[in-house]
């Protein structure tokens, strides 16, 4: 392999995994301020990493047999016009993010959105649908501990009781449903359309087997089963059932967590940083966590800011609603942009303008809504 080909591969890898590379650089830089020692071992929380790996691996296996695609296709075929079909696509993504995590929901259902709009000649709704699916993925996943990576981390770190977790996230979750539904009704006309029927048969034994593995993953997340059992059972099961699924796991996302664990742990040991962050978090954990997401994304914000506050309720809400806003506020937003660019490379300017308008509107309304709730 020539040097130019190796260079091109490295560039492609960096572009595809920008967040991971930023996390790596951040971790390396902080190592100059906090030399590597035994305390580094205490930075890592292996349970959320294991839970995330198990969920992603099983979801990849289900995706390989087109389980989610077929499920979504059947739901969309029940609707006869553009407005209801877009609502169905957005709701599927919304619900999917609660079950299979936001990034996997987008990777699964964005292609379906393109398929429906392209085959029915409704490309004019493509940008809007992708943006709403992206918002739905970021906000739908906030209701469950495994819906967003930052949820899984905070849920584990603070040992948040299950019902308390749902009670904390229910108000912004319900308000998000209202806003998303209202946008789809206002911006999509009820134009008639027909979705092509693509006959695909599911391998029933594999579906049952993978759903059992998925149930095991969820039981681990909810602390029903020790996490190390999943780390043994699920890789071995998939090694025989679907090795490709193990290769498809988003390992850069897992490494992103590892690098941000190092970054956050080191930042917490730098005294001036500790004092500043503690002061800001004391002023308003909710507002500062929302702002932090706009600059360094929601997952690293959750890991970093959790070192400076015990107010996990406001932090949890902040890093979830903070996932909307800028393009870098959530990894899911970068996934959506990449998918849209693949199909519409010459309309990215329009997409970014529309994306910013809708996302900042959602961010302002959700933040204002939660501040009002806190005031009462």
pLDDT tens for 293-347 read 887 778 878 888 998 888 999 999 999 999 999 887 887 887 788 778 878 878 8
Q: What is the pLDDT of residue 133?
A: 95
Predicted confidence at residue 195, as pLDDT, reads 63
Between 115 and 169, residue with greater pLDDT: 169
Quote the pLDDT of residue 198.
65
Tell me the per-residue pLDDT of 199-238, one tens digit each, with 9 for 90 and over.
777 888 998 999 999 888 878 776 678 888 888 999 999 9
**Residue 186: predicted pLDDT:** 95
- Local structure of residue 43 (DSSP, 8 states): G
pLDDT for residue 72 is more than 70: no
More confident residue, 138 or 5: 138
- Give me the percent of the chain exceeding a pLDDT of 90: 33
Q: Which residue has the higher pLDDT, 208 or 69?
A: 208
What pLDDT does residue 184 have?
94
170 vs 39, 137, 141, 164, CA distance in Å?
A: 37, 16, 11, 10
Q: Decide if 317 contacts 285 (C-beta within 8 A).
A: no
Burial tier of 163 (Cβ tally within 10 Å: 0-12, 13-18, 19+)? exposed
Round the average pLDDT of the chain to a whole number and report it: 85
At 197, the pLDDT band (50, 70, 90 cuts) reads low
Long-range contacts, 364-372 (Cβ 8 Å, 24+): 365/175, 365/179, 366/139, 366/172, 366/175, 366/176, 366/179, 366/321, 366/324, 367/286, 367/287, 367/290, 367/321, 369/171, 369/172, 369/175, 370/171, 370/172, 370/286, 370/317, 370/321, 371/286, 371/287
Q: Which of 39-53, 167-181, 275-289, 321-335 has the lowest mean pLDDT?
A: 39-53
Closest CA to 209 of 102, 342, 64, 49: 64
Cβ of 39: how many Cβ atoms within 10 Å?
11
Residue 311, Cβ neighbours under 10 Å: how many? 17
Sign of the dihedral through C-alpha 178, 180, 183, 188: negative
Residue-level pLDDT at 268:
73
Rounded CA gap, 123 and 322, in Å? 29
Residue 1 has pLDDT above 70, yes or no: no
Which range, 140-154, 194-208, 265-279, 330-344, has the best average confidence (pLDDT)? Answer: 140-154
Q: Which of 13-27, 82-96, 171-185, 342-356 has the lowest mean pLDDT?
A: 13-27
In which band, very low, low, confident or very high, does the pLDDT at 144 lie, cut at 50, 70 and 90? confident
What is the reported pLDDT for 77? 73
Token duo for residue 51: 């839970």
Nearest to 174, CA basis, from 142, 151, 150, 148: 142
For residue 236, give every residue at least 6 positions away whose Cβ sits within 8 Å of its Cβ, in sequence order, or none.
none
Which of 246, 260, 270 is closest to 298 using CA atoms?
A: 260
Name the strand (E) or helix (H) holding 196: none
Does residue 62 contact residue 96 with C-beta atoms inside 8 Å?
A: no
Q: Which of 40, 53, 32, 128 is nearest to 85 (CA)?
A: 128
The whole-number pLDDT of residue 287 equals 94
Confidence category of residue 372, pLDDT binned at 50, 70, 90: very high
pLDDT at 98 over 70: yes
Domain boundaries, the chain: 66-201+250-375
Instruction: Round to whole Å and give the CA distance between 109 and 316.
Output: 26
Q: What is the pLDDT of residue 239?
A: 92
Q: What are phi and psi of 242, to 5 degrees?
A: -160, 85
The token pair that represents 237 in the structure block: 């099961």
């Amino acid at each position: 392999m020539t040097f130019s080909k190796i260079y091109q591969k490295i560039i492609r890898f960096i572009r595809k995994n920008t967040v991971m590379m930023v996390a790596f650089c951040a971790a390396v830089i902080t190592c100059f301020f906090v030399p590597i020692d035994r305390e580094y071992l205490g930075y890592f929380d292996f349970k959320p990493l294991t839970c995330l790996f198990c969920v992603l691996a099983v979801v990849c296996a289900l995706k390989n047999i087109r389980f989610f695609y077929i499920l979504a296709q059947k739901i969309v075929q029940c609707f006869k016009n553009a407005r209801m079909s877009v609502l169905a696509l957005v709701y599927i993504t919304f619900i999917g993010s609660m079950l299979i995590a936001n990034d996997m929901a987008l990777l699964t259902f964005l292609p379906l959105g393109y398929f429906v709009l392209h085959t029915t000649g409704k490309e004019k709704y493509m940008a809007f649908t992708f943006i709403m699916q992206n918002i739905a993925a970021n906000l739908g996943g906030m209701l469950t501990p495994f819906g967003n990576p930052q949820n899984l981390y905070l849920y584990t770190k603070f040992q948040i009781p299950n019902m308390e977790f749902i009670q904390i996230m229910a108000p912004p979750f319900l308000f998000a449903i209202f806003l998303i539904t209202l946008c789809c009704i206002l911006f999509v006309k009820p134009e008639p359309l027909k979705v092509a029927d693509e006959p695909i048969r599911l391998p029933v034994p594999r579906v049952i087997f993978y759903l059992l593995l998925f149930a095991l993953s969820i039981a681990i997340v909810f602390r029903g089963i020790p996490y190390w059992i999943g780390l043994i059972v699920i890789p071995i099961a998939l090694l025989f059932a679907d090795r490709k699924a193990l290769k498809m796991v988003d390992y850069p996302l897992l490494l992103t967590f590892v690098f941000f664990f190092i970054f956050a742990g080191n930042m917490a040991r730098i005294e001036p940083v500790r004092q500043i962050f503690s002061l800001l978090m004391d002023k308003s954990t909710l507002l500062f966590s929302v702002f932090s997401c706009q600059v360094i994304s929601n997952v690293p914000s959750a890991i970093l800011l959790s070192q400076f506050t015990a107010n996990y309720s406001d932090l949890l809400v902040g890093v979830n609603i903070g996932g909307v806003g800028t393009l870098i506020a959530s990894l899911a937003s970068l996934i959506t942009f990449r998918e849209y660019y693949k199909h519409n490379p010459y309309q990215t300017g329009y997409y970014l303008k529309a994306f910013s308008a809708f996302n900042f509107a959602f961010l302002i309304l959700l933040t204002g809504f939660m501040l009002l709730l806190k005031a009462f």
